[in-house]
Amino acid sequence: MHAVFPDSNGTCASCIGTAGVLYKHLRVHPLARAGGPYLIAGMNPTHPTPPAAAAGTATLLLYNYIDDYEARRLAEALQVLPPEVHTLHLRIHSPGGEVYSGFALYHLLRGLHARGVTVHTYIDGLAASMAGIVALAGARVHMAQNARFMLHRPWAALQGTSDVLRDNATELDSIAQQLVTIYAEKTGQPEAAVQALMQGETYLTADDALALGLVDALTDAVLQSDLQDAATGSAAQQAPAALYAAYTPRATAEPGQPVLNEALRMLRSQLAEAETALQALRAELAQKDAEDLVAAAVAEGRIARAQQAGFVALAQQAPHTTREVLAALPTRSAAPTLAARIQAAHGTDTRSTWRFRDWEKRDPAALHRMRSDDPARYERLYRAQYGTA
> Catalytic: 152?
yes
Q: Which of 2, 120, 142, 152 is catalytic?
A: 152
> Catalytic: 129?
yes
- The three state secondary structure string of the chain is CCCECCCCCCCCCCECCCCCECCCCCCCCHHHHCCCCCEEECCECCECCCCCCCCCEEEEEECCCECHHHHHHHHHHHHCCCCCCCEEEEEEEECCEEHHHHHHHHHHHHHHHHHCCEEEEEEEEEEECHHHHHHCCCCEEEEECCCEEEECCCECCCCCCHHHHHHHHHHHHHHHHHHHHHHHHHHCCCHHHHHHHHCCCEEEEHHHHHHHCCCCEEECCCCHHHHHHHHHCHHHHCCCHHHHHHHCCCCCCCCCHHHHHHHHHHHHHHHHHHHHHHHHHHHHHHHHHHHHHHHHHHHCCCCCHHHHHHHHHHHHHCHHHHHHHHHHCCCCCCCCCHHHHHHHHHCCCCHHHCCHHHHHHHCHHHHHHHHHHCHHHHHHHHHHHHCCC
Q: Which of 14, 94, 129, 142 is catalytic?
A: 129
Give catalytic residues, as residue numbers: 129, 152
